[in-house]
Amino acid sequence: MTDPLTRLRSRVSLVPLLVPLIAVIVTGAGAVWLSTWLRTTVVILVRHAEPAVSNTGDPDLSPVGERRAALLGPFLADALPGRTVDHLYAADTRRAQQTAASVANHFKLPMNLLAGSDWSGLASRLRRDHRGETVVVVGYASTLPGVLNQLSASNLTMDPNDFGSVFVVVMPSPGQPRTVRLRYGEPARPSLAPAQDK
């Protein structure tokens, strides 16, 4: 029969093995948390393209608006080298959805529709749910300035006749948000001159 002291000495001590393992786990968890916290969020705010003249409250895009909207997806792909669009939101009207369709098709994304009551909490939702992602929001001259001002602490208004501005809010974490205003192409006007054979 062996005494308790001899049995204790013969057991392998797990403490020297557990301390480095715990340190690796804590370090790895801290690195994952820090990389999530430090990611930059990009929110792109776009007004719907030119609507058609209509007696209804929900018009389609005009032919000029259709040509402009078709340029939006390729424009964003060129403006975001090395990045992709992760999420797409659009107001629940035909003109906003028709404008956003180019982005949905180009980046293979579903379109998340925003009802009128969703706009007041959208900035908080974008900050909370989309950290480190690129999000496109298509709305109106009446709804987008509020979201933009909440995200970037600016005081912007939109010209009701401006359908070509794109506002890019870059929100580093940590750091102060920055806003860049871009313009996406004026639609090409069809040529009235007959095509010539070459």
Domain boundaries, the chain: 40-183
Structure tokens belonging to residue 191: 């040529």
Backbone angles phi, psi at 86, to 5 degrees: -90, -35
Backbone angles phi, psi at 34, to 5 degrees: -65, -40
CA distance linking residue 144 with residue 181, whole number of Å: 13
How confident is the model over 18-52, as pLDDT tens digits? 666 666 676 665 555 545 445 789 999 999 999 99
Res 20: pLDDT: 67
Identify whether the C-beta of residue 47 lies closer than 8 Å to the C-beta of residue 160: no
Entry pTM? 0.76
Res 100: pLDDT: 97
Q: Give the DSSP H or E segment for 136.
A: strand 134-139
What is the CATH code of the structural domain delimited by 40-183?
Answer: 3.40.50.1240
Radius of gyration of the chain from its Cα atoms, rounded to whole angstroms: 26
Partners of residue 179 on adjacent β-strands: 169
Partners of residue 139 on adjacent β-strands: 47
How confident is the model over 155-175, as pLDDT tens digits? 888 888 999 999 999 998 778
Q: What is the largest CA-CA distance in the chain?
A: 109
Res 191: pLDDT: 45
DSSP letter (8 states) at residue 118: G
Res 198: pLDDT: 38
How confident is the model over 44-59, as pLDDT tens digits? 999 999 999 988 888 9
Identify whether the C-beta of residue 48 lies closer than 8 Å to the C-beta of residue 72: no
CA distance linking residue 57 with residue 12, whole number of Å: 78
Res 15: pLDDT: 59
Helices and strands per DSSP (H, E), number in the chain: 6, 6
